[in-house]
């Protein structure tokens, strides 16, 4: 009998869905994976909480369609709870299905490319509670990283969390509770490909904003809403631009547990989880090996050419001018598939048709992507290059073929990542 009260919507989340999945599993939080087709079929009546992780909100809305959107609204209206992180938060705003009377700021008014650790000013609320036995303060450099049972106001005691290229809320409704606002960014964070600490010490944000033609100064985020709560009918809605599912984030893990207790009335269990590490001595099939080698080569090319490096096990930091998130997503999801196949040896043969389709798309994609990355690397030396703008017609042609001209996923990449997503979901469900 299924006793899980929380459902995680997998569709159109990709890297962010996998990140959320791993965080919930790591913290032994009970949940079931569901897809939009399950929501349309009425599955939400079994749950107390729907959790929608990050990803492009527009693509999530397309996957849900009118029928899925109506089902979510009915679910929350009748007393179900909704939790959205980043793109999942965007789904619930007035720009999406309208669970809360919130809009998202236009891109030109945002700091669109902030990523990394940032202080939060938190209000009194159960999601910030920290067990009395675990109230000791942990130090990170010159900053303290702690969560208390009540609001923490002195700037030296503000808790630290992670934001990954968040949107920004525009709130005029006084019925919306602001549970946290942004404080100061930590020195190891980034705005676009600029290290915050380095620019604070040696740079000029104003001049750089003119050069980059976007808002960059993280001080623009200070006191902007980061986590909010409201109601829709009888249900609670919490929307967060903070990723409490970031790998290795102890504060985030505590908040995740509190969110489950608050919204799903469930706490972390004690059951052990299967290891996600490949069994020693087991060699995956040649087919899976070819797929893994292709993404290894692609990422290593970017590292050799100073285009990116790893910030944590799931996220790259890349130079402005390349589509780092797409390559990172591709790599992490392929690695997850290979790891699962390494533990479920019998699945290699049963998934061969799907793996064949992935290889047929992946090998030409990675070869062309490597060509594109070298062209972009050279173009960076002589002109103003962003991931969407470049004067080189050959670069623009390959970019359009691989990714389309859309900010959200498109082109060959979208076909490829959809195939990868399907097999990964199937393997995880098994």
pLDDT, position 281: 36
Do 176 and 322 reside in the same domain of the chain? Answer: no
In a domain, 275, yes or no: no
Do 240 and 328 reside in the same domain of the chain? Answer: no
Q: Report how far residue 370's alpha carbon sits from residue 324's, in angstroms, rounded to the nearest whole number.
A: 12
Average pLDDT, the chain: 90
Do 331 and 423 reside in the same domain of the chain? Answer: yes
In a domain, 182, yes or no: yes
Do the beta carbons of residue 336 and residue 14 sit within 8 Å? no
Residue 324 belongs to what domain range? 286-429
Torsion on CA atoms 3, 97, 245, 242, rounded to nearest 10: -140
Percent of the chain with pLDDT over 90: 80
Comparing 103 with 154, the larger pLDDT belongs to: 103
Comparing 138 with 27, the larger pLDDT belongs to: 27
Quick one: residue 12, left, alpha or beta (phi over 0 = left, psi -120 to 50 = alpha)?
Answer: left
In a domain, 279, yes or no: no
Do 241 and 338 reside in the same domain of the chain? Answer: no
pLDDT, position 319: 96
In a domain, 217, yes or no: yes
Percent of the chain with pLDDT over 70: 88
Do 173 and 206 reside in the same domain of the chain? Answer: yes
| Total residue length of the chain | 430
Beta bridge partners of 309: 317
In a domain, 280, yes or no: no
Structure tokens at 284: 């995956």
Please determine, for residue 19, whether its predicted confidence score (pLDDT) is greater than 70: yes
Q: Which residue has the tokens 């679910």?
A: 75
List the CATH number of the domain containing 230.
Answer: 3.40.50.880
**Alpha-carbon distances, residue 178 vs 105, 121, 124, 229, 264 (angstroms):** 16, 10, 10, 6, 21
Res. 149 pLDDT band, cuts 50 70 90 = very low
In a domain, 272, yes or no: no
Query: Helix (H) and strand (E) counts for the chain?
Result: 13, 17
Note the Cα 193 to chain centre separation in Å. Answer: 18
Comparing 96 with 142, the larger pLDDT belongs to: 96
Structure tokens at 290: 């070819």
Do 355 and 250 reside in the same domain of the chain? Answer: no
Do 77 and 177 reside in the same domain of the chain? Answer: yes
| Start-to-end C-alpha separation, the chain | 17
Q: Report how far residue 192's alpha carbon sits from residue 17's, in angstroms, rounded to the nearest whole number.
A: 23
Do 231 and 358 reside in the same domain of the chain? Answer: no
Helix or strand or coil: residue 147?
Answer: coil
pTM of the model: 0.91
Q: Strand locations in 264-358, DSSP E?
A: 308-312, 315-318
Q: Which pairing describes strands 194-195 and 225-232: parallel, antiparallel, or unpaired?
A: unpaired
Do the beta carbons of residue 113 and residue 214 sit within 8 Å? yes
In a domain, 1, yes or no: no
Burial of 222 (0-12, 13-18, 19+ CB in 10 A): middle
Residue 144: phi and psi, rounded to 5, are: -105, 140
Do 364 and 222 reside in the same domain of the chain? Answer: no
End position of a domain, from candidates 231, 263, 295 = 263
Structural domain count, the chain: 2
Summarize pLDDT for 267-300 with one digit per residue, the tens: 887 553 444 444 443 345 788 899 999 999 999 9
Please determine, for residue 182, whether its predicted confidence score (pLDDT) is greater than 80: yes
Contacts of residue 297, defined as CB under 8 A and 6 or more positions apart, other chains included, come to 366, 370
Summarize pLDDT for 406-423 with one digit per residue, the tens: 888 899 999 999 999 999
Structure tokens at 239: 């929307």
In a domain, 358, yes or no: yes
Please, what is the Cα angle at 210 between 204 and 214, to 5 degrees?
100
Burial of 227 (0-12, 13-18, 19+ CB in 10 A): buried
Do the beta carbons of residue 151 and residue 127 sit within 8 Å? no
Do the beta carbons of residue 171 and residue 228 sit within 8 Å? yes
Q: Which residue has the tokens 């029928």?
A: 67
Structure tokens at 402: 């691989």
Summarize pLDDT for 205-219 with one digit per residue, the tens: 999 999 999 999 999
Do the beta carbons of residue 58 and residue 15 sit within 8 Å? no
Do 244 and 294 reside in the same domain of the chain? Answer: no
Averaged pLDDT, 136-143: 41
Do 251 and 350 reside in the same domain of the chain? Answer: no
Do 419 and 334 reside in the same domain of the chain? Answer: yes
């Amino acid at each position: 009998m299924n006793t899980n009260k929380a459902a995680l919507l997998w569709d159109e989340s990709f890297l962010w869905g996998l990140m959320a999945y791993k965080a919930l599993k790591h913290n032994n939080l009970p949940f079931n994976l569901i897809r939009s087709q399950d929501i349309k079929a009425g599955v939400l009546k079994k749950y107390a909480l729907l959790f929608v992780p990050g990803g492009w909100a527009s693509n999530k809305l397309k996957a849900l369609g009118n029928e899925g959107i109506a089902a979510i609204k009915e679910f929350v209206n009748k007393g179900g709870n909704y939790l959205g992180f980043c793109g999942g938060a965007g789904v619930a705003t007035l720009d999406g299905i309208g669970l809360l009377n919130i809009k998202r700021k236009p891109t030109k008014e945002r700091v669109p490319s902030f990523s990394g650790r940032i202080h939060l000013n938190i209000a009194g609320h159960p999601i910030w509670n920290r067990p009395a036995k675990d109230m000791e303060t942990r130090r990170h450099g010159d900053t303290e990283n702690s969560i208390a049972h009540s609001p923490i106001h002195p700037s030296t005691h503000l808790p630290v969390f992670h934001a990954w290229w968040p949107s920004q809320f525009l709130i005029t409704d006084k019925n919306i509770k602001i549970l946290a606002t942004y404080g100061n960014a930590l020195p190891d964070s980034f705005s676009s490909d600029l290290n915050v600490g380095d620019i604070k010490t040696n740079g000029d944000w104003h001049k750089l904003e003119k050069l980059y033609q976007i808002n960059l100064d993280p001080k623009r985020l200070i006191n902007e809403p980061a986590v909010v709560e409201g109601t829709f009918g009888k249900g609670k809605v919490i929307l967060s631009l903070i990723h409490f599912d970031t790998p290795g984030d102890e504060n985030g893990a505590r908040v995740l547990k509190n969110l489950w207790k608050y919204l799903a009335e469930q706490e972390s269990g004690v059951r052990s989880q299967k290891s996600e590490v490949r069994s020693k001595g087991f060699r995956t099939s040649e087919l899976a090996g070819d797929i893994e080698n292709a993404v290894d080569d692609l990422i290593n090319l970017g590292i050799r050419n100073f285009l990116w490096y790893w910030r944590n096990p799931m996220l790259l930091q890349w130079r402005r001018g390349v589509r780092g998130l797409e390559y990172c997503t591709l790599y992490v999801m392929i690695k997850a598939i290979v790891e699962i196949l390494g533990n479920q040896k019998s699945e290699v043969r049963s998934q061969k048709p799907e793996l064949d389709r992935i290889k047929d798309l992946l090998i030409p994609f990675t070869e062309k992507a490597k060509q594109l990355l070298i062209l972009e690397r050279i173009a960076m030396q002589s002109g103003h290059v962003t991931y969407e703008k470049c004067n080189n017609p050959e670069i623009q042609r390959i970019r359009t073929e691989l990714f389309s001209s859309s900010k959200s996923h498109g082109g060959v990449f979208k076909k490829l990542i959809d195939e990868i997503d399907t097999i990964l979901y199937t393997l995880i469900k098994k």
